[in-house]
């Protein structure tokens, strides 16, 4: 045989062997196992109760207890700060007539004083007229210049003098005396004297 023909024959044989071997290997190989599909994990959703939305309730308004109204004391009289008048005899035109007799209204103030050149005072709160001021004076000296007593009644708010009377000096020595006021209000009763004892009684409807 010629060398070329031999070589071709060898090549053909080799190619056939390779092809047959590939077919054999392909038929003898086990089928490829497919890659496992990842398992899907089932997630269980737990339902959560959603609170029902209710309209906002405004907080309750705290109850306010009204303050009790101040209790009026009614008609009464009490000691007060006296007025030191530099000119005590300043209201002769306001002198009231005195009348020891009359209705005996309830006593709202009573006190006795020993005057030795000092001032005393009382405030009377009168809700129903009349206001009656009785005063009885006993001299401690037989000399009128030494023994005297002066009582001055003012409107408490304005300090306006509305009445004045007394014992000795510019006033008579009559005793007892009574001053009567026919208007409700608050009265400041100022007293001044020396060498006398004075018994003061204030009356008014209560």
How many other β-carbons are positioned within 10 Å of the β-carbon of residue 99? 11
pTM: 0.57
Pairwise CA distance, residues 155 & 165, whole Å:
16
Total tally of structural domains belonging to the chain: 1
Task: Indicate which CATH number applies to the domain containing 108.
Answer: 2.60.120
Q: Reply yes or no on whether the pLDDT at 152 is more than 60.
A: yes
Examine residue 46 and state whether it is found in any structural domain, yes or no. Answer: no
Question: For residues 149 and 3, which has the higher predicted lDDT (pLDDT)?
Answer: 149
DSSP state of 91: -
- Over the range 1-39, which residues count as b (16 or more CB within 10 Å of their CB) and which as e? eeeeeeeeeeeeeeeeeeeeeeeeeeeeeeeeeeeeeee
φ and ψ of 175, to 5 deg: -160, 135
Classify 33 as helix, strand or coil: coil
Q: Who's near 72: CB < 8 A, 6+ residues apart?
A: 127
Domain hosting 150: range is: 76-203
Counting residues of the chain whose pLDDT is more than 70, the rounded percentage is 60
Examine residue 165 and state whether it is found in any structural domain, yes or no. Answer: yes
**H/E stretch holding 23:** helix 3-28
Examine residue 126 and state whether it is found in any structural domain, yes or no. Answer: yes
Q: Reply yes or no on whether the pLDDT at 15 is more than 80.
A: no
Q: Reply yes or no on whether the pLDDT at 21 is more than 80.
A: no
């Amino acid at each position: 045989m010629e060398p070329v023909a031999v070589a071709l024959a060898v090549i053909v044989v080799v190619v056939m062997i390779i092809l047959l071997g590939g077919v054999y290997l392909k038929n003898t190989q086990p089928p490829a196992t497919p890659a496992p599909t990842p398992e899907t994990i089932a997630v269980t959703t737990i339902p959560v109760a959603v609170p029902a939305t209710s309209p906002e309730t405004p907080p309750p308004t705290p109850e306010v207890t009204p303050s009790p109204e101040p209790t009026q004391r009614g008609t009464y009289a009490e000691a007060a700060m006296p007025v030191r008048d530099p000119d005590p005899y300043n209201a002769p035109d306001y002198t009231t007539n005195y009348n020891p007799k009359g209705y005996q209204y309830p006593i709202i103030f009573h006190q006795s004083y020993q005057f030795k050149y000092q001032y005393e005072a009382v405030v009377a709160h009168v809700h129903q007229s009349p206001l009656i001021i009785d005063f009885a004076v006993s001299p401690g000296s037989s000399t009128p210049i030494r023994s005297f007593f002066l009582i001055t009644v003012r409107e408490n708010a304005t300090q306006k003098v509305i009445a004045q009377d007394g014992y000795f000096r510019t006033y008579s020595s009559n005793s007892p005396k009574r001053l009567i006021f026919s208007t409700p209000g608050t009265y400041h009763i100022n007293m001044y004297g020396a060498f006398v004892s004075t018994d003061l009684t204030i009356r008014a409807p209560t």
